[in-house]
Amino acid sequence: MNKLIITLLFICYVQGSFAQEYHPEYEDDYIGWKVIYKFKGYTKPLQVDEKKYSAAQLSIADSFANWMQASYQPKGGMGDIRKYLSPKKDIYAERYNEAVPHSYGTNAMTYRFLKRQNDKWVPENNLGISWTIAANEIPLINRLVGINTNKVCLFTIPAFDEEVIAEQPGSLQAAEKRLYDLSACSSLNRFIFYTKPNQGNDEPLSLNVILSKNNRFPFVHVTIGEMLQYAEDAIPVKTGEEKQSVAEQYSTRPNDKDFYTKQITDRYEKVKATIKQLREKYKNRLNEPAYSTYGGFSMTDLQNGRDIFLKTADGTAFNKSYPVYRVDPQLEPLCKTDKPQWIVVKWKGGSMDQSYFKHMHESIVTNFNFDYVYNFFFDPEKVKGKPYTPLHSPVSEDKPVLQEKPVSTKPTESDPSVFFFDDFSTTAPGQKPNGWKSEMNTNAKYATVVSIKGSNQNWLEIKGNSFVIPSGMKKPLPQNFELSFDLAVPRDIPWGAKALELYLCTQNKLNENDGFIKIRFRAGFSGRPGEITVETRFGTAFSSNKTDYPGIGFSNDKELNQVHVKLLKNGEAIQLLFDDNIVADLPKGLPASTLFNWVQFKHSNSDADNQTYFIGNFKIKKR
């Protein structure tokens, strides 16, 4: 029998928003799974506290694991599988797990941080992203622990604030909802699905799909009247627990025991009074759906006379981002049977602008066979005798499509003084540039090659991409060189838009602490010059202060505002030129022997379509 790892409370997920400048050498590699388990199913049952799990239920968790490993090949991290059951009673300060339905599932962790050990990659820590498939599971982390008892388990499923989104379509919440919308995914759009918004590091954004017979939602929305009754029913339970704790703590100090026991009684009398007031206040609305607030509420809120349904203590509106649910009472006892009542598929821990998370997301929505899983449990005749197969192979390689270089590039490529050159002519517009690597922006878009109306050349568009490097370039750069490129911005790029930054670093990575040149480009407005900042850091003997210069000819009043940029390094001297006009001149900018091993463009954020930069004819020549 396979060893089942029982999660005592809940699988601990870690928010995957790691530092954007973390780019390990295995970032684009299929590291794969630590072990391909090929689980065979269980032959014996298992009991945890009062819950008994049959061999059939435990074998379902095995099937989940096998299906996941067949559908997803971890990329940029190492994957491993853990199976788990409903949480045990009274652990990690969580109580009343008896009321949690019989659930069992499998969690696939992709560990992001790896290290070499005996010539193999192994996880360096437990940080990563997760994909879970579970039967009969509720969102445990969103339970209303202040009101729950061992008889009932209430919880919320956080939702986007639709009022805010309607009023502020340009808000971060609206953008997040659009980015993670699953409605266009043909593999799962016939099922119940939703996105749970980011609730902070303890509860990152997650994407959720529920498979149930005839798409029956397994949870029911609790009413105001029911929620008040549950709160009232919880009073003797909470009171008894607190009084028992006091009795144990002050067993040898009767006066203190009586004092604190009376305090408990008085507190809960206030709770009862608040519940009575709320029943009167909402006497005509007791059958309306109940909503909670972020993080739920506690008996202390009721003790202090707070209206637990409102957004704020002095507010008037419900917080509809936190609807209160419980498991459908008709389904609850059936969770003990061998057949799951619903299946939850969810993935979380990262964001779409992280390549390893996007790869996992695309593997799930593209490869995972949701229809097969649904039929396996809820319409088994359709898949009888058929093994699970993913919709597509879990491993795929994007083979770059190379276009023929124009004849005009041949003289440049044949010039022995040219160290590196790319006019982006071999990349078709709309594609990632061949020989370049970029990080995705907040809209999950890489830096791509584009064509621009009125221009006869290809351009690299950088729009909120903080990591864009010529990965095909040799290192180090020549000791003395001329680095040049065409730089352009669209009409009306605002003055407040984030600047484009160019870094040259001595280390084989971006390093803003020592050994670098940093140039910031910001376009002017209404024909006025732009603002250029040059900064070097090579010790006190060399220029190290940020210095601003006018970017003559670089403004925002034309359809395409273009300048030709040159950075000259000759011994200790650095010069920056726009259209062959000197912008900055640092005769003692760095040590003459300096060698650069890193070139990077960085644009930290873009708030609109016209907040973008274009790079063309990127060239480095020996001097």
Same domain, 285 and 349: no
Domains of the chain: total? 3
CB atoms within 10 A of CB 418: 15
> What separation in angstroms does the CA of 300 have from each of 153, 245, 305, 318?
19, 17, 9, 20
Domain-located, residue 33: no
252 inside domain:
yes
Query: For tokens 């049977």, what's the residue?
Result: 337
Residue pLDDT, tens place only, 276-286: 999 999 999 99
User: Which domain does 524 fall in, by range?
Assistant: 407-622
**Cβ partners under 8 Å of residue 58, min gap 6:** 4, 41, 42, 45, 46, 104
Q: Which of 326, 344, 365 is the last residue of a domain?
A: 326
> What percentage of the chain has pLDDT greater than the value 90?
71
Band of residue 5 on the pLDDT scale cut at 50, 70, 90: very low
Interatomic CA distance for residues 323 and 214, integer angstroms = 23
For residues 70 and 62, the answer to whether their CB atoms sit within 8 Å is: no
Mean per-residue pLDDT for 167-191? 89
Question: What are the pLDDT digits (tens) for 126-163?
Answer: 999 999 999 999 998 889 888 888 889 999 999 988 88
Structure token digits, residue 236: 């003797």
> Which residue matches tokens 């490869």?
367
Residues 6+ apart with CB under 8 A from 527: 555, 557
Q: Mark whether 103 and 208 lie in a shared domain.
A: yes
360 and 422 share one domain: no
Residue 9 — very low, low, confident or very high, per pLDDT cuts 50/70/90?
A: very low
CATH number at residue 517: 2.60.120.560
- For residues 534 and 608, membership in a common domain is answered with yes
Under the banding of pLDDT at 50, 70 and 90, the label for residue 11 is: very low
Strands 324-327 and 155-156, how do they pair?
Answer: antiparallel
Can you give the pLDDT at residue 10?
34
**Same domain for 110 and 153?**
yes
Judgement on whether residues 277 and 422 belong to the same structural domain of the protein = no
Contact 418, 621 (CB under 8 A): yes
For range 344-352, the mean pLDDT: 94
Q: In this model, does residue 112 exceed pLDDT 70?
A: yes
Structure tokens at 33: 């799974």
Q: Band of the pLDDT at 21, cuts 50, 70, 90? A: low
Q: 617 with 485: CB under 8 angstroms?
A: yes
Q: Where does the pLDDT of residue 587 fall: very low under 50, low under 70, confident under 90, or very high at 90 and above?
A: very high
Q: Which range has the worst mean pLDDT, 4-8, 471-475, 594-598?
A: 4-8
Query: Could you tell me where the beta strands, DSSP code E, fall in 302-436?
Result: 324-327, 342-348, 418-422
Do 209 and 237 lie in a common domain?
no
Does some domain include residue 310? yes
Q: How far apart are CA 418 and CA 415, in angstroms?
A: 6
Whether residue 8 has pLDDT greater than 50: no
Question: Is 511 or 236 the better-scoring residue by pLDDT?
Answer: 236
Do the Cβ atoms of 177 and 443 come closer than 8 Å? no
Whether the pLDDT of residue 378 is over 60: the answer is: yes
Tell me how crowded residue 475 is: count the other CB atoms within 10 A of its CB: 10
- 181 and 99 in one domain? yes
Radius of gyration of the chain measured on its C-alpha atoms:
30
CB 107 within 8 A of CB 132: yes
SS (H, E, C) 563-600: EEEEEEEECCEEEEEECCEEEEEECCCCCCCCCCCEEE
Last residue of a domain, one of 279, 295, 326: 326
Is it the case that residue 364 has pLDDT exceeding 50?
yes
Q: Which two tokens stand for residue 514?
A: 């020592």
Regarding whether 347 and 208 lie in a shared domain, the answer is yes
Tokens of 324: 């209160």
Q: Is residue 31 part of a domain?
A: no
Strand ranges for 361-428 from DSSP E = 418-422
Its pTM stands at 0.86
Same domain for 177 and 126: yes
Answer yes or no: is pLDDT of 528 > 80.
Answer: yes
Q: Please list the residues that pair with 601 across neighbouring strands.
A: 468, 502
User: CA torsion 63→67→73→76, rounded to 10°?
Assistant: -60
Spatial distance between the Cα atoms of 480 and 573, rounded to a whole number of angstroms:
10
Handedness of CA 203, 158, 321, 280 (dihedral sign): negative
Least confident of 18-27, 62-71, 97-106, 475-484: 18-27
Asked whether residue 249 is domain-assigned, the answer is yes
Answer whether residue 397 is part of any domain.
no
229 φ, ψ to 5°? -65, -40
pLDDT at residue 18 greater than cutoff 50: no
Contact 323, 221 (CB under 8 A): yes
Query: Tokens 């730089």 map to which residue?
Result: 487
Structure tokens at 195: 């996105």
Give the confidence band of 514 by pLDDT, cuts at 50, 70, 90. Answer: confident
Greatest extent of the chain over all pairs of C-alpha atoms, in Å: 97
Domain-embedded: residue 244: yes
Query: Does residue 313 sit in the same domain as residue 334?
Result: no
Question: Do residues 378 and 461 share a domain?
Answer: no
Give the pLDDT of residue 407.
72
- Residue 490 covered by a domain: yes
Mean of the pLDDT values across residues 555-562? 93
What is the chain's mean pLDDT, rounded? 90
